[in-house]
Amino acid sequence: MALVAVVVVGCGGHAMGVVNFSGLPQPPVVPPEHVQDVLQMPPGYESIGELSVDCSDLRGSCLAVTDTLDECDLDRMIGALKEEASRVGGEFIVQRRCDTDNHESTGCGKTPEHSEVIRCRALVARRVAPGTAGSTGGVPNSQLPPALRATAN
């Protein structure tokens, strides 16, 4: 049974959403500052789930009531991923990627509004327990999102 956890994070003048975890949480083994960000699954590690977080630029929105909106801070978003990875028992965030979506809409007024969403996601990896076949306790490849299946394990 997979658990979905959410953590609310502040993001400057932008609205950074919750960090979502989908997977099988384990007891924590390292503090957030020791969670590493790597491109490929290290040997001897397995995926225990996936993390994602969004940050929205609200400029032009009816919700934007301040003029101090800075860009979404990518370092802050990655830090939030590492913090959640640590909390759910991960030692690495793997295959992290952040994408930006731009949207135009009429929103609350008649003038076009621009919004931008930065979405980061990554696998969470943990050392394979001694004496296991390598995927016991991890998320099977078939249960991962399609975009991550081929290269995750």
**CATH number for 81:** 3.30.110.70
Residue 148 reports pLDDT greater than 50: no
Each residue's pLDDT tens digit, 2-32: 444 434 344 444 567 789 999 999 999 999 9
pTM: 0.67
The total of structural domains in the chain comes to 1
Each residue's pLDDT tens digit, 70-120: 457 889 899 999 999 999 999 999 999 999 888 666 555 565 666 778 899
* C-beta neighbour count of 16 within 10 angstroms: 20
Residue 41 reports pLDDT greater than 50: yes
Instruction: Find the distance separating the first CA and the last CA of the chain, reported in whole Å.
Output: 20
> Contact, 98 vs 116, CB < 8 A?
no
DSSP state at residue 84: H
| Structural domain range at position 120 | 3-152
* C-beta neighbour count of 146 within 10 angstroms: 6
